[in-house]
Chain A
Amino acid sequence: MGHLTLHNACKSFGTVDVIRDVTLEVQDGEFCVFVGPSGCGKSTLLRMIAGLEDITSGDIRIDGQLVNTTPPSQREIAMVFQSYALYPHLNVRDNMGLGLKQAGQPKAQIAESVDRAAGMLDLGSYLTRRPGELSGGQRQRVAIGRAIVRKPKLFLFDEPLSNLDAALRVQTRIEIANLHRELGATMVYVTHDQVEAMTLADRIVVLRDGRIEQVGAPMELYNNPANEFVAGFIGSPKMNFLDAPALGAVGKSMGVRPEHITLADSGAGIDGRVSHVEHLGGETLVYVNADPHGLVTVRLFGEHAYAVNDSLVMRPDMARAFHFDDTGQRLHPASA
């Protein structure tokens, strides 16, 4: 129930290859997140799975069944869009029930399914309203409800939280995570926000230029990135890439996460000058200018009284540093 396989999936628009040779397996009940910078093809890949874009070559299988040419409505999938995509002329109940109505289900059964989904999402009191009368968060809940009602094999989410404000985003994120636990359904989720990816995913697929860069559990990507791109993309604030030759390290650059650098007033280490400090209460972000490394971000926990223009010394935790060659590939020196 809900096993997705992509085999050598390719997509080109004219001469432009948007998706190149993607092979991926999503297990039943898994929460899989596609993440990558804008234009990396993650949304296109999701649309190909949904059947909204044709696949140029390769195979897509849902539960072992080849669906390359199956229309979207018969793939037993449901999709939640960034712009909610609710039908403006229908009320919430009809919005949620339209798919079942099209499939020819009896009215009583549709009403029951809608009521159950509305109950799960706390939408019971809005069922007779039109989308125009709802707030952004409510609209997105209706869109999620519309997906639940269809009881799909596969839930597809296309940046569902991007249009919500920060507070609502965190809340809806938790709701989606709870939903996944409750339904145990397979979910494929597209986002450009690595925080969403880290918090929601069982497995993250990092994409760049239509190719898969790395697939793995969130902590696996954090602790063991395959290359410079993944290392830089996963983790917030972004990993620092220091000039390796200047430090006597192997390769071209050495990646150290902001949380793996300590600061000292003097002594051995990398000399630098504070250029900016962000006090967040629970943590303090210190931006340090150091030649020839450029601006280095240091994340300290708790409150620290650093000021702009302070001279200090940075000590990266060498045991947790990553080494990359000219092409951005990860090096595994024997000493590390």
Chain B
Amino acid sequence: MTSARANMGRSAAAHAILIAYTVLALYPVFLILINSVKGRRAIFNDPLSLPTAETFDPIGFQTVLEQGNFLLYFQNSLIVTVASLFFVLLFGAMAAFALAEYRFRGNLLMALYLALGIMIPIRLGTVAILEIMVAAGLVNTLTSLVLVYTAQGLPLAVFILSEFMRQVSDDLKNAARIDGLSEYRIFFTIALPLVRPAMATVAVFTMIPIWNDLWFPLILAPGEATKTLTLGSQIFLGQYVTDWNAVLAALSLAIFPVVVLYLIFSRQLIRGITKGAVK
């Protein structure tokens, strides 16, 4: 009885801490959402209050949607993020599989070399990247962004996934070899499903910086047709005047796709964790 009650107290404390943290983390997002549907005056007069019938004003969303290109920006962001994510996961997992599975000369050196990118920010190479993209004629294309983001995401993906690939049972892979499965089928049908939780983690880590990035879209693809959402929202931030209604509305809209992608991956994450625990 005593221990059961002590556990209750402990779990209540844990929940209190976690709830407090959740509130703290979500409050700025909440502020963006409530202010995005308020009039300009209400935003400045009383930024913390909820929108009322008087202060409600969808002017921000109207501006954003009437700007016309917003849907295109949205589409660009989505294409760039999903394509980069796909390539990071595919190539990252393949490299990780090779590093974990095959004994070859320079295996360790190769692993270190691939992990080096975690420590060196890719932005240091911006000038060189721009030169390469100009030479390749890829400036103002989404391809340039996908290439850069794939390179940016790979080091961490390889690093995390190779650790998990090592945990995939050797016996299982050997059994598949005896059954005559090719190395590619072993990778896709046996190794990949088993590291799915790790893939989800990597996906979340990779996706968010790409979606939020302003730097590379600004430098590599500032053209109207290839603007991403983050870059597109910048038009509302002027040197002298900022259209806060529009900025907040754009941010609110920009949050949703990330949340949806996150929900998809986190479900995988949770499923993977419980699968291992309960068995």
Q: Within the assembled complex, what's the spacing in Å between the Cα atoms of A276 and B189?
A: 55
Given A83-B169, A85-B169, A132-B279, CB of A102 within 8 Å of CB of B174: no
Q: Within the assembled complex, what's the spacing in Å between the Cα atoms of A188 and B193?
A: 32
Q: Within the assembled complex, what's the spacing in Å between the Cα atoms of A82 and B171?
A: 8
> Given A74, A79, A99, A103, which contacts B174 in the complex, CB threshold below 8 Å?
A79
Stretch at the interface among B63-71, B178-186, B215-223, B262-270: B178-186
CB-contacts of B176-206 with A (<8 A): 176-181, 189-190, 193-194
CB-contacts of B157-187 with A (<8 A): 169, 171-172, 174-181
**Number of contacting residues on A, CB 8 A?**
27
Given A99-B180, A102-B181, CB of A81 within 8 Å of CB of B193: no
Residue numbers in A under 8 Å from B171 (CB-CB): 81-85, 158
How many residue pairs link A and B with beta carbons under 8 A? The number is: 59
Q: Within the assembled complex, what's the spacing in Å between the Cα atoms of A157 and B193?
A: 27
Asked whether, in the complex, the Cβ of A87 is within 8 Å of the Cβ of B190, the reply is: yes
> Given A72, A83, A86, A87, which contacts B178 in the complex, CB threshold below 8 Å?
A72
Q: Within the assembled complex, what's the spacing in Å between the Cα atoms of A78 and B178?
A: 7
Q: How far is the CB of A278 from chain B (nearest CB, A)?
A: 36
Q: How far is the CB of B134 from chain A (nearest CB, A)?
A: 47
> Given B172, B178, B193, B194, which contacts A73 in the complex, CB threshold below 8 Å?
B178
Q: Within the assembled complex, what's the spacing in Å between the Cα atoms of A79 and B180?
A: 12
| A88: interface (CB < 8 Å) | yes
Q: Within the assembled complex, what's the spacing in Å between the Cα atoms of A218 and B179?
A: 33
Residue numbers in A under 8 Å from B180 (CB-CB): 73-74, 99, 102-103
Q: Within the assembled complex, what's the spacing in Å between the Cα atoms of A78 and B179?
A: 8
Q: Within the assembled complex, what's the spacing in Å between the Cα atoms of A219 and B58?
A: 92
CB-contacts of B229-259 with A (<8 A): none
Q: How far is the CB of A41 from chain B (nearest CB, A)?
A: 17
Minimal Cβ-Cβ distance residue in A for B181: A102
> What band does the interface of chain B fall in when counting residues whose beta carbon is under 8 Å from A?
10 to 19
Asked whether, in the complex, the Cβ of A88 is within 8 Å of the Cβ of B178, the reply is: no
Asked whether, in the complex, the Cβ of B177 is within 8 Å of the Cβ of A52, the reply is: yes
Residue numbers in B under 8 Å from A102 (CB-CB): 179-181
> Given B172, B178, B189, B194, which contacts A50 in the complex, CB threshold below 8 Å?
B178
> Given A52, A98, A158, which contacts B179 in the complex, CB threshold below 8 Å?
A98
Q: Within the assembled complex, what's the spacing in Å between the Cα atoms of A73 and B189?
A: 17
Residue numbers in B under 8 Å from A83 (CB-CB): 169, 171-172
Q: How far is the CB of B186 from chain A (nearest CB, A)?
A: 10
| A71: interface (CB < 8 Å) | yes
Asked whether, in the complex, the Cβ of A85 is within 8 Å of the Cβ of B193, the reply is: no
Asked whether, in the complex, the Cβ of A81 is within 8 Å of the Cβ of B174, the reply is: yes
> Given B172, B174, B177, which contacts A87 in the complex, CB threshold below 8 Å?
B172
**Digit string of A132-171 for contact with B (CB within 8 Å is 1, else 0)?**
1000000000000010000000000010000000000000
Residue numbers in B under 8 Å from A158 (CB-CB): 171
Minimal Cβ-Cβ distance residue in A for B173: A85
| A77: interface (CB < 8 Å) | yes
Q: Within the assembled complex, what's the spacing in Å between the Cα atoms of A72 and B177?
A: 6
Residue numbers in A under 8 Å from B194 (CB-CB): 88
Q: Within the assembled complex, what's the spacing in Å between the Cα atoms of A30 and B196?
A: 43
Residue numbers in A under 8 Å from B169 (CB-CB): 83, 85
Residue numbers in A under 8 Å from B279 (CB-CB): 132
Q: Within the assembled complex, what's the spacing in Å between the Cα atoms of A103 and B181?
A: 10
Asked whether, in the complex, the Cβ of A85 is within 8 Å of the Cβ of B174, the reply is: yes
Q: Within the assembled complex, what's the spacing in Å between the Cα atoms of A47 and B174?
A: 9
Q: How far is the CB of B93 from chain A (nearest CB, A)?
A: 17
Q: Within the assembled complex, what's the spacing in Å between the Cα atoms of A167 and B181?
A: 35
Q: Within the assembled complex, what's the spacing in Å between the Cα atoms of A153 and B190?
A: 26
Minimal Cβ-Cβ distance residue in A for B193: A89
Q: Within the assembled complex, what's the spacing in Å between the Cα atoms of A73 and B173?
A: 12
Q: Within the assembled complex, what's the spacing in Å between the Cα atoms of A146 and B179?
A: 9
Minimal Cβ-Cβ distance residue in B for A98: B179
Residue numbers in B under 8 Å from A77 (CB-CB): 178
Q: How far is the CB of B193 from chain A (nearest CB, A)?
A: 6
Q: Within the assembled complex, what's the spacing in Å between the Cα atoms of A102 and B178?
A: 10
Q: Within the assembled complex, what's the spacing in Å between the Cα atoms of A73 and B171?
A: 15
Q: Within the assembled complex, what's the spacing in Å between the Cα atoms of A52 and B101?
A: 12
**Digit string of A45-64 for contact with B (CB within 8 Å is 1, else 0)?**
00100111000000000000
Asked whether, in the complex, the Cβ of A73 is within 8 Å of the Cβ of B177, the reply is: yes
CB-contacts of A20-65 with B (<8 A): 47, 50-52
Asked whether, in the complex, the Cβ of B189 is within 8 Å of the Cβ of A71, the reply is: no
Asked whether, in the complex, the Cβ of B175 is within 8 Å of the Cβ of A81, the reply is: yes
> Given A71, A74, A85, A89, which contacts B175 in the complex, CB threshold below 8 Å?
A85
Minimal Cβ-Cβ distance residue in A for B169: A83
Given A83-B169, A99-B180, A103-B180, CB of A52 within 8 Å of CB of B190: no
Minimal Cβ-Cβ distance residue in B for A103: B180
Residue numbers in B under 8 Å from A72 (CB-CB): 174, 177-178
**Subset of 9 A-B contacts with CB under 8 Å:** A52-B177, A73-B178, A78-B178, A84-B171, A87-B172, A87-B176, A87-B189, A99-B180, A146-B179
Q: Which residues of B contact A (CB under 8 A)?
A: 169, 171-172, 174-181, 189-190, 193-194, 279
Known contacts A73-B177, A73-B178, A132-B279; 19 further A-B pairs (Cβ under 8 A): A51-B177, A52-B177, A71-B177, A73-B181, A77-B178, A78-B178, A79-B175, A81-B171, A81-B174, A83-B171, A84-B171, A85-B175, A87-B175, A87-B176, A89-B189, A98-B179, A98-B181, A99-B179, A103-B180
